[in-house]
Amino acid sequence: MKYLIVGGAGFIGSYIVDDLLSDEKTSLIRIYDNFTSGKHWHLAHHSGDSRLEIFHNDIYDAEIFEAAKNIDVTILLAANPDIAKAVTEPDIDFKQGTVLTQITLEAIRQAKCPRLLYASGSGVYGDTGDAWVAESAPMEPISTYGASKLGCEALISSYCHMFGLCATSFRFGNVVGGRQTHGVAYDFIRRLQLDPTYLDILGDGSQSKPYVHVHDVVKALKLMLKQQVTTYEVLNVAPDDFTTVTEIANLVIAEMGISNDSCELRYSGGARGWKGDVPIVRLNTSKIRSIGWENSCTSTEAVRKSVREMISNLEFLYKHA
Amino acid sequence: MKYLIVGGAGFIGSYIVDDLLSDEKTSLIRIYDNFTSGKHWHLAHHSGDSRLEIFHNDIYDAEIFEAAKNIDVTILLAANPDIAKAVTEPDIDFKQGTVLTQITLEAIRQAKCPRLLYASGSGVYGDTGDAWVAESAPMEPISTYGASKLGCEALISSYCHMFGLCATSFRFGNVVGGRQTHGVAYDFIRRLQLDPTYLDILGDGSQSKPYVHVHDVVKALKLMLKQQVTTYEVLNVAPDDFTTVTEIANLVIAEMGISNDSCELRYSGGARGWKGDVPIVRLNTSKIRSIGWENSCTSTEAVRKSVREMISNLEFLYKHA
Q: What is the CATH number of the domain that holds B19?
A: 3.40.50.720
Rg, Å, chain B Cα set: 19
Query: Which chain A residues are within 8 Å of B287, Cβ to Cβ?
Result: none
Instruction: Indicate if A194 and A133 belong to the same structural domain.
Output: no
How many structural domains compose chain B? Answer: 2
| Residue B287 lies inside a defined structural domain of this protein | no
- Rounded to two decimals, what is the model's pTM? 0.96
Instruction: Indicate if A49 and A117 belong to the same structural domain.
Output: yes
Instruction: Indicate if B124 and B36 belong to the same structural domain.
Output: yes
Rounded to an integer, the average pLDDT of A22-45 is: 97
| Residue B95 lies inside a defined structural domain of this protein | yes
pLDDT of residue B96 exceeding 90, the answer is yes
Which is nearest to B121 in space by CA: B212, B41, B243, B199? Answer: B212
Query: Which chain B residues are within 8 Å of A143, Cβ to Cβ?
Result: 158, 161-162
- Give the count of alpha carbons within 13 A of A295, CB side only: 25
pLDDT of residue A320 exceeding 80, the answer is no
Beta bridge partners of residue B6, listed in sequence order = B32, B76
Query: Which chain B residues are within 8 Å of A105, Cβ to Cβ?
Result: 90
CB contact under 8 A, B158 and A141: yes
**Candidates B65, B158, B274, partner chain A, best to mutate (most A CBs within 10 A):** B158
Q: Is A112 on the interface with B (CB under 8 A)?
A: no
Q: What is the CATH number of the domain that holds B198?
A: 3.90.25.10
Q: If you measure CA to CA, which chain A residue comes closest to B278?
A: A161
Q: Please tell me the distance from the alpha carbon of residue A115 to that of residue B196, in angstroms, as a whole number.
A: 46
What is the per-residue pLDDT for B319? 78
CB contact under 8 A, A146 and B126: no
Three-state secondary structure call for residue A301: helix
The pLDDT confidence band at residue B228, using thresholds 50, 70 and 90, is low
The pLDDT tens digits for A286-307 are 999 999 999 999 999 999 999 9
Q: Is B89 on the interface with A (CB under 8 A)?
A: no
| Residue B47 lies inside a defined structural domain of this protein | yes
Three-state secondary structure call for residue A59: coil
CB contact under 8 A, B158 and A138: no
Q: Is B86 on the interface with A (CB under 8 A)?
A: yes
Three-state secondary structure call for residue A251: helix
| Residue B70 lies inside a defined structural domain of this protein | yes
Closest residue to B90, CB basis, from A91, A109, A142: A109
CB contact under 8 A, B154 and A147: yes
Q: Is B266 on the interface with A (CB under 8 A)?
A: no
Instruction: Indicate if B194 and B220 belong to the same structural domain.
Output: no
| Residue B289 lies inside a defined structural domain of this protein | no
> By mean pLDDT, which of A8-22, A239-253, B53-67, B264-278 is the weakest?
B264-278
Instruction: Indicate if A198 and A166 belong to the same structural domain.
Output: no
Comparison of pLDDT for A107 and B83, the residue scoring more: A107
Q: Write down the mean pLDDT value for chain A.
A: 96
| Residue B290 lies inside a defined structural domain of this protein | no
Instruction: Indicate if A199 and A117 belong to the same structural domain.
Output: no
Q: Please tell me the distance from the alpha carbon of residue B110 to that of residue B107, in angstroms, as a whole number.
A: 5
Q: Is B121 on the interface with A (CB under 8 A)?
A: no
Closest residue to A157, CB basis, from B109, B147, B157: B147
Interface of A with B in 279-308 (CB under 8 A): none
What is the per-residue pLDDT for A228? 66
The pLDDT confidence band at residue B252, using thresholds 50, 70 and 90, is very high
Closest residue to B162, CB basis, from A143, A155, A158: A143
The pLDDT confidence band at residue A196, using thresholds 50, 70 and 90, is very high
Instruction: Indicate if A196 and A98 belong to the same structural domain.
Output: no
Rounded to an integer, the average pLDDT of B219-229 is: 90
The pLDDT tens digits for B207-220 are 999 999 999 999 99
Instruction: Indicate if A37 and A82 belong to the same structural domain.
Output: yes
pLDDT of residue B227 exceeding 90, the answer is no
Q: Please tell me the distance from the alpha carbon of residue B300 to that of residue B209, in angstroms, as a whole number.
A: 10
Closest residue to B147, CB basis, from A99, A147, A158: A158
Range of the domain at A273: 184-207+242-279+301-317
Instruction: Indicate if A137 and A192 belong to the same structural domain.
Output: no
What is the per-residue pLDDT for A321? 63
Share of chain B above pLDDT 90, in %: 93
Residue A153: DSSP 8-state: H
The pLDDT tens digits for A118-171 are 999 999 999 999 999 999 999 999 999 999 999 999 999 999 999 999 999 999
Q: If you measure CA to CA, which chain B residue comes closest to A126?
A: B158
What is the per-residue pLDDT for B318? 86
What is the per-residue pLDDT for A291? 94
CB contact under 8 A, B158 and A139: no
3-class SS string, chain B: CEEEEECCCCHHHHHHHHHHHCCCCCCEEEEEECCCCCCCCCCHHHCCCCCEEEEECCCCCCHHHHHCCCCCEEEECCCCCCHHHHHCCCCHHHHHHHHHHHHHHHHHHHCCCCEEEEEEEHHHHECCCCCCECCCCCCECCCHHHHHHHHHHHHHHHHHHHHCCEEEEEEECEEECCCCCCCHHHHHHHHHHHCCCEEEECCCCCCEECEEEHHHHHHHHHHHHHCCCCCEEEEEECCCCCEEHHHHHHHHHHHCCCCHHHCEEEECCCCCCCCCCCCECCECCHHHHHCCCCCCCCHHHHHHHHHHHHHHCHHHHCCCC
Reported ipTM: the value is 0.95
Q: Please tell me the distance from the alpha carbon of residue B106 to that of residue A273, in angstroms, as a whole number.
A: 23
Instruction: Indicate if B129 and B193 belong to the same structural domain.
Output: no
What is the per-residue pLDDT for B230? 82
CB contact under 8 A, B157 and A126: yes
Instruction: Indicate if B160 and B261 belong to the same structural domain.
Output: no
CB contact under 8 A, A276 and B161: yes
Which is nearest to B74 in space by CA: B139, B35, B16? Answer: B16
CB contact under 8 A, A106 and B86: no
Instruction: Indicate if A31 and A130 belong to the same structural domain.
Output: yes
Q: Distance, in angstroms, between A259 CA and closest chain B CA?
A: 38
Q: Is B207 on the interface with A (CB under 8 A)?
A: no
pLDDT of residue B260 exceeding 80, the answer is yes
3-class SS string, A177-240: CCCCCCCHHHHHHHHHHHCCCEEEECCCCCCEECEEEHHHHHHHHHHHHHCCCCCEEEEEECCC
pLDDT of residue B284 exceeding 80, the answer is yes
CB contact under 8 A, A140 and B102: no
- Check if the beta carbon of residue A278 is closer than 8 Å to that of residue A206: no
Q: Is A151 on the interface with B (CB under 8 A)?
A: yes
Q: Write down the mean pLDDT value for chain B.
A: 96
What is the per-residue pLDDT for B178? 97
CB contact under 8 A, B151 and A146: no
Query: Which chain A residues are within 8 Å of B161, Cβ to Cβ?
Result: 126-127, 141-143, 275-276
What is the per-residue pLDDT for A319? 78
Closest residue to B94, CB basis, from A102, A139, A157: A102
| Residue B198 lies inside a defined structural domain of this protein | yes
